[in-house]
Amino acid sequence: MDVTWLRSDTLEVGVIAHGARIVAVRTPDREGRWGDIALGLADEDAYRRDRDYLGACVGRFANRIASGRFTLDGTEYRIPQNEPGAALHGGPEAFEHATWEKDESGAGSVTLHRLSPDGENGFPGALRVSVTYAVDGAELRIEHEAGTDAPTVVNLTNHTYWNLAGGGSVEDHEVSLTAWRFLPVDEHLIPSGSPVAVAGTPFDLRTPQRIGARLREGHPQLRAARGYDHTFVIDGPSGALRTAAFVVEPRSGRTLQLRTDQPGVQFYTGNMLDGTLVLRDGSAARQGDAFCLEPQSFPDSPNRPDFTSTVLRPGEVYRSRSILRFGTTG
């Protein structure tokens, strides 16, 4: 497997061209012992078979589009559905299984790019897209950029699965999200209305909470998604870099801070991991063994004029920026 390594004294990140994927993230714990905190697979063949998007750049449209349909400028477009009632992450065999071109800067960063042709998975317009991964000290910067020759919709994110302990369940990880609202979903995990307040619900993560603290309460939204798989509306102005999440793993002391300029972050607790995915160390990934923090625009935005627009037109440039900072508690 041709892995490009980005390194500093406290952080190592491995990237491959298949799916523009992050395949490993290594950091030290509070005792200085290094460990891999991102779920990864054994080889490139395993990534080609992967259906859980491990570490991938997903698109053209991250998250879900209801019924795989949307109308843009009076024309209806249909995206193949790859789960009941929705096209997820751009439909089947999308960006996560494309071969990207890789440009290594030699200075702690790598840029991967591709041309998504007009009509790929039903999306209009030829889209030139790139993602840059850069390591600087304890920070990993992820930047997406895209341009189109015809009106289209774009929503890109990274889909790394995190476990700051390096294995086992993440239910004892403590997470806080800078969000006083979230998007409730229907049975197909499509937003069912406008953002609602988190107060008084298991979605109130404004102060640190164990991931597993309220998973079994039977809240209708947790039942619908089999855990957390919801968009949280990040406080503050969209487009400005601001803190979205902070996670602590108490035993190792490892921490993860996410800052992003996107309007939302999808908090996902690996609910679809069912033991069939075999990881690099030979273990089977099961529900609750990892979590994802996916900065993005809101799901189903092409069908929701009340949401932030995800339309990209010729002459415009789509950009998104996220910074992950890794550390330890004292």
Name the residues annotated as catalytic.
159, 294
Q: Which of 199, 201, 271, 190 is nearest to 231 (CA)?
A: 190
> Which helix (DSSP H) or strand (DSSP E) does residue 225 occupy?
helix 220-225
- b/e per residue, 256-275, with b = 16+ CB within 10 A? bbbbbbbbbbbbbbbbbbee
* Backbone phi and psi for residue 209, each to the nearest 5 degrees, phi listed first: -135, 145
List of E strands, 79-156: 86-88, 101-104, 109-116, 127-136, 139-148, 152-153
HSE-CB of 129 using CA atoms within 13 angstroms: 31
Q: How far is CA 16 from the centre of its chain?
A: 17
Instruction: State how far the Cα of 91 lies from the Cα of 93, in Å rounded to an integer.
Output: 7
First to last CA, the chain: 37
Q: Which of 314, 306, 109 is nearest to 193 (CA)?
A: 306
Q: Which of 156, 149, 77, 78 is nearest to 113 (CA)?
A: 156
Strand, helix or coil at 221? Answer: helix
Q: Which of 63, 288, 253 is nearest to 162 (CA)?
A: 288
